[in-house]
Homo-oligomer: A and B are copies of this chain.
Amino acid sequence: MRITADEKRATRRRIVEAAVDLFRSQGFETTTTRDIARAAGIAVGTLFNYFETKEALVASLAAEALSRAHAAWKRERERTSLNQRPGLDEDLFSLVAAELRQLRPLRKFLSPFIETILSPLVAARKSAADELRVAHLERVTELVGRHGVADVTPVALQMYWALYTGALAFWAVDRSPRQEDTLALLDESLQMFSAWLQGQTDGSKTERS
């Protein structure tokens, strides 16, 4: 029983590795599911026993990368948060930058994932990508809370998500040598959002008092 479970995990890894290889060398669209199955030494049907769709495969790659990113970010965070007090925008920036660092190797073939899966539409469907979205927004909510904004409205989160996915989409096709253009866009986006959010809260506070 345990042996079988191990084998399943091994097969899964074989699929994932074959997929990454092919996606990196040929891109997402030009790699067929038959290609992946052949490279992994299995039948097409088996591939779809492990991943619901071709895109779900990419989503799972992204999920892995994001989970690594969050671990690294948390570690980094625990080490420095007590001495220095970064602003909300800088805090958010470090989170997203950590994600981009881990997603880097997937950048070339991540476009379809960002397009169809990270789009604000995912909320409507029920997908693995929706979990990624919810997880990220929870992290943001918590982070924002630490900066004194306790009640983030759904509207605010929607706005954040638009800016976040906008930056990701830009990143996916950014041609500047080290993606400085993305970082600039991200920086401005998060500054705008932070300023607005904190202004919002102050405003409503003074209105109420």
Contact = CB atoms under 8 A, between A and B. Distances in A.
Contacts of A185: 155, 158-159
A48 interface: no
Given A120-B170, A158-B170, 12 more contacts: A120-B169, A121-B169, A121-B172, A155-B184, A155-B185, A159-B188, A161-B166, A162-B163, A163-B166, A195-B196, A195-B199, A196-B196
A161 to B, nearest CB: 7
Per assembly, the copies of the chain total 2
Nearest to A118: B119
B111 A121 contact: yes
Interface of A: 111, 114-116, 119-121, 123-124, 155-156, 158-159, 161-163, 165-167, 169-170, 172-173, 184-185, 188-189, 192-193, 195-196, 199
Nearest to A167: B162
B119 A119 contact: yes
Contacts of A172: 121
A169 B119 contact: yes
A44 B4 CA distance: 49
A163 to B, nearest CB: 5
Contacts of A115: 115-116, 119, 121
A192 B189 contact: no
